[in-house]
Amino acid sequence: MNLPNRAECEGSRTLSHCVAIALIAIAPSARADCVDGSRARTPQEQAFADKLSASLRAALPAAPAPLWLEREPQVVVQPACKDTPVGRISALVGANYAASGHYSDRVNVTLRANFAYPGAKDLVLGTMPKTPAGFKVHNVVVNVDGHNTQYVESLTQAIDRGRLQTLIDQPLPDAPPPPAWTLARPGQPTTQPTASAPSRSAEAPAAQEAKEADPKSAAIDQAKDAVNKLRGLFGR
């Protein structure tokens, strides 16, 4: 299926329609590697995946001014294929930071655990072996991507490398330390992150205002974010 282009998004009647086009086009990529289909995780695998997801989510950086976190971070755990060795778990967490409602003022931060295909500009902590042991974090790969060089650099500097290093080659905590990030626009009351599954409804006030003021532009931005994030899922 071809991905939606800008003209198609501009021609879409609603924001949700445009975003849906992007998600439908990309979603199968998450299962593309399971040639013979996927399998259910074992209880031990699920427990490890939950701990890894919580630790990655909590390890995201606080937003340096003038940026803020647009919405709660989203976690994706790679499906277990039928031939995936028991205990081999890969996951990523992504978050969008913004200085305004404009697409060019947004920066995406992605943390990937047990990722074998880092990019040339990625920060790589740890080493991914050719035959990784199960139930273990071997590496964490950090990608910071955006149009504004200053914002990209400030978020890169905000990454707590020491905290990420503590996830590698040692047991994951049942409950990670509190996150440094909060959901708050500069000058606005702080909203503490929830302990439950990431919510897709929490949005920064400025981003919401921009959507209401220009839904067509917001649709394009949402679609771009969805396509870029899911295209980069596990390097596929």
Distance set, CA 87 to CA 23, 43, 48, 189 (Å): 29, 10, 8, 41
Percent of the chain with pLDDT over 90: 61
The pLDDT score that the predictor gives to residue 197 is 42
Of the candidates 195, 199, 160, the one whose C-alpha atom is nearest the C-alpha of residue 174 is: 195
Cis peptide before 66 (omega within 30 of 0): yes
Q: Where residue 21 falls among pLDDT bands split at 50, 70, 90?
A: very low
Other C-beta atoms within 10 Å of 6: how many?
10
Distance CA 126, CA 135 (A): 15
Measured between alpha carbons, how far is 30 from 211 in angstroms, rounded to an integer? 28
> What proportion of the chain, given as a percentage, has pLDDT over 70?
65
Residue 62's CB is within 10 A of a number of other CB atoms, namely: 16
Whether 212 shows a pLDDT value over 60: the answer reads no
- Identity at 186, one-letter amino acid code: P
Q: Map out the domains of the chain as residue ranges.
A: 6-175+214-235
Say whether pLDDT at 3 is over 80. no
Please, which pLDDT band fits residue 226 given cuts at 50, 70 and 90? low
- pLDDT band at 232, cuts 50/70/90? low
What one-character DSSP code corresponds to residue 45? H
pLDDT in tens, 155-183: 999 999 999 999 999 999 999 999 999 99
Does 8 score more than 50 pLDDT? Answer: no
Statement: residue 4 has pLDDT above 70: no
For residue 23, is pLDDT > 70? no
Comparing 126 with 203, the larger pLDDT belongs to: 126
Question: pLDDT category, 93, cuts 50, 70, 90?
Answer: very high
- Check if the beta carbon of residue 70 is closer than 8 Å to that of residue 204: yes
Residue 89's pLDDT band (boundaries 50, 70, 90)? very high
**∠152-186-19 over CA atoms, to 5°?**
60
Q: Which has the higher per-residue pLDDT, 195 or 143? A: 143
Q: Name the residue with higher pLDDT: 87 or 32.
A: 87
- 201 pLDDT exceeds 50? no
Give me the mean pLDDT over the 145-153 stretch.
97
Report the pLDDT value the prediction gives residue 196, as an integer from 0 to 100.
42
pTM of the model: 0.70
CA distance 15 to 98: 19
pLDDT of residue 34: 87
